Amino acid sequence: MNVPFYDVKAQYDSQAAEIDAVVHEVISSGAYVLGKHNKGFEEEFAALHGTKHAIAVHSGTDALRIIMDAAGITRGDEVITTAFTFVASVETIVQTGATPVFVDVDPNTFMMDPACIEAAITPRTKAILPIHLFGQLCDVSAIKAIAEKHNLIVLEDAAQAIESSHNGVLAGNFGLAAGFSFYVTKNLGAAGDGGMIVTNSDEVAETCRSIRVHGMGRERYYYDHLGYTGRLDEIQAAVLRVKMKKLPEWTARRNEIAAIYRRELSGIEGVQLPLVSEGNNHTYHQFTVRATKRDALQEHLKQNGVPSMIYYPVPIHHHTPYKQFTPSWDLSATDLVSAEVLSLPIQPYLTDDHVAYTCEQIRAFR
Ligand SMILES: Cc1ncc(COP(=O)(O)O)c(C=O)c1O
């Protein structure tokens, strides 16, 4: 059996007529830039996450870069974050001229360990960027409390956290602003790139809207900020609106698969199942286990038709452009999880047979 890790074609097939119709509608309308689908998608996303504003942008990376600019992060500032992440979380900090300051992660949740934050705060610290990984939120209450005590801005990397919540409060409502990604393989994926900024601040929303279009102010060709071409394509907005209708069904299926994994894979020596923090609603962008013999397990699965992914094999501060940001303290949990994580297939078009077969192969590994 060959198990598909991602199957974005199956997602398209389930809505082909509707997607084809909206793509045709946009192309034949001639309204290609910031049209009615951008506006509609922003309204629908803000309603989904319960935020006052949603601003559609070209990618999750642009969302992060724009919220950092809007928050005034600049040269000389320090931003506390974690090195166990996708590079965009950190490259955007560096691009502002600020310095990323890495703190360690909790080895059970893979995310920022709030106990490490205060020791990393200096007079130059401006913000904390928690990264909500794999479909659940960081310890947002603890992080917020520290930020408030030290008068720091919180910006959320919510690229993987659509629909994720803590005690019923959805991602994007904990910081000054948050960035989401609609990269093809995300829980809600575009037919290409896409991203969203959310914020409850009118001022930040207005600044982000301006930066998205070259920093233009209310008057055409008058500029208030340094900006980008950061708009979301109208075709992508239209496709995302259609796909968003299926999101509850897809998330429910991810949760069903996670429940099967939990039932079938518990108690296997050397394999630790992902911890769900109390109060968190997990949306299972990934189902990431820790395995002591990770590389051998991955090879065994591959030989038997079960693909798996290592998100992320090398912490950011070990890569050439970021070595200069290696902190003076150790990041032992960051290094440990990078050596042990393995993400199992969990996309919504897996059949029960795919999931049962995957479990069988994991149990057969010695
Ligand atoms: C944690 C994290 N941050 C940021 C991004 C950047 O999003 P995008 O690929 O849409 O630019 C991603 C997406 O891959 C991500 O997983």
User: Ligand 1 centre from 88 Cα, in Å?
Assistant: 6
User: Ligand 1 centre from 186 Cα, in Å?
Assistant: 9
The atom of ligand 1 lying closest to the CA of 183 is 10
Which pLDDT score, from 0 to 100, does residue 261 have? 98
Q: Sign of the C-alpha dihedral, residues 225, 229, 234, 237?
A: negative
321: which DSSP letter?
G
C-beta separation of 84 from 262 below 8 A = no
Q: Average pLDDT, stretch 222-251? A: 98
- The class that CATH gives domain 247-364 is alpha beta
- For CATH 3.90.1150.10, the residue range(s) in the chain are 247-364
Q: How many whole angstroms from its chain centre is CA 323?
A: 23
Q: Average pLDDT, stretch 127-136? A: 98
Mean pLDDT value across the chain: 98
Which pLDDT score, from 0 to 100, does residue 152 have? 98
289: which DSSP letter?
E
The atom of ligand 1 lying closest to the CA of 193 is 10
Q: Is the pLDDT of residue 39 over 90?
A: yes
What percent of the chain lies above the pLDDT cut of 70?
100
Q: Average pLDDT, stretch 276-299? A: 98
Which pLDDT score, from 0 to 100, does residue 99 have? 98
Q: Average pLDDT, stretch 303-327? A: 98
Q: Which residue is associated with the tokens 């409502």?
A: 173
- Residues at CB less than 6 angstroms from ligand 1: 59-61, 85-86, 88-89, 131, 157, 159-160, 181, 183, 193, 195
**Per-residue pLDDT band at 94 (split at 50, 70, 90):** very high
Q: Is the pLDDT of residue 362 over 90?
A: yes
Which pLDDT score, from 0 to 100, does residue 224 have? 95
Which pLDDT score, from 0 to 100, does residue 236 have? 98
End-to-end alpha carbon distance in the chain: 20
Q: What is the pTM of this model?
A: 0.98
Q: Average pLDDT, stretch 332-340? A: 98
The atom of ligand 1 lying closest to the CA of 157 is 3
Q: What is the CATH number of domain 8-102+111-244?
A: 3.40.640.10
At 2, the amino acid letter reads N
The atom of ligand 1 lying closest to the CA of 85 is 1
C-beta separation of 254 from 283 below 8 A = yes
**Per-residue pLDDT band at 169 (split at 50, 70, 90):** very high
User: Ligand 1 centre from 356 Cα, in Å?
Assistant: 30
Mutate-to-test residue for ligand 1 from 183, 232, 309, 312, highest number of ligand atoms within 8 A of CB = 183
Q: Which residues have a Cβ under 8 Å from the Cβ of 7 and sit 6 or more positions away?
A: 347, 349, 350
Number of C-alpha atoms within 13 angstroms, CB side, residue 254?
Answer: 28
- For CATH 3.40.640.10, the residue range(s) in the chain are 8-102+111-244
Mutate-to-test residue for ligand 1 from 6, 57, 61, 85, highest number of ligand atoms within 8 A of CB = 61
**Per-residue pLDDT band at 116 (split at 50, 70, 90):** very high
User: Ligand 1 centre from 131 Cα, in Å?
Assistant: 10
Rounded Cα–Cα distance for residues 58 and 39 (Å): 14
Q: Which residues have a Cβ under 8 Å from the Cβ of 284 and sit 6 or more positions away?
A: 134, 135, 251, 254, 255, 257, 258, 346
Q: Is the pLDDT of residue 205 over 90?
A: yes
Q: Is the pLDDT of residue 360 over 90?
A: yes
Q: Is the pLDDT of residue 338 over 90?
A: yes
The atom of ligand 1 lying closest to the CA of 194 is 10
Q: How many whole angstroms from its chain centre is CA 199?
A: 16
Q: Which residues have a Cβ under 8 Å from the Cβ of 182 and sit 6 or more positions away?
A: 60, 188, 189, 190, 193, 194, 195, 196, 236, 240
**Per-residue pLDDT band at 95 (split at 50, 70, 90):** very high
> Ligand 1, atom 7: nearest CA belongs to which residue?
60
**Per-residue pLDDT band at 366 (split at 50, 70, 90):** confident
Q: 252 vs 197, 285, 311, CA distance in Å?
A: 24, 12, 23
